[in-house]
Amino acid sequence: MKEFSRLDRIADQMQRELAVMIQREIKDPRLDAMITVSGVKVSKDLGYADVYVTILGKEDNPEVVQDNLAILKSAAGFLRGRIGQSIKLRVIPQLRFHYDESVARGQYLSSLIERAVNEDVQRAKGSDEE
């Protein structure tokens, strides 16, 4: 079993803290309430942390995604300060927000598979009737 590295533990803690802070402490009314933090990757020197977010229910609207990312980027300094209060580190990484497309991509692939299965079922029914 692989041991968690210090960076993994820091990233995991930051992910949990940011998820709560984004929901409870950012008071921007334009921010979609269904933002989830899907992952955090921290650089080896703790210079920056890439924060991956998903916006549930709005994956297909690039304008909403970009607006929410802009709001998060403008709140990055505030969130970084709050992280510094909750996690005891000498250096608090700069936060860089990214949209995590894996959820939307997974839903798209799932719908393609479902459609292919349904077409196979329809073809099988058609050949049984002949």
Helix (H/G/I), strand (E/B), else coil: 99: strand
Domain region containing 121: 102-130
Give me the number of domains the chain comprises: 2
Which tokens hold the place of 26?
């950012």
Helix axis angle, 76-86 to 6-24, nearest 10°: 120
Which CATH number fits the domain that encloses residue 74?
3.30.300.20
Do 87 and 115 fall into the same domain? no
Do 31 and 71 fall into the same domain? yes
Do 88 and 109 fall into the same domain? no
6 residue type, one letter:
R
| pLDDT tens across the length of the chain (130 residues) | 556 688 999 999 999 999 999 988 888 888 766 888 999 999 999 999 999 998 877 666 788 888 899 999 999 999 999 999 988 888 899 999 999 888 778 878 888 999 999 998 888 887 766 5
Prediction pTM value? 0.76
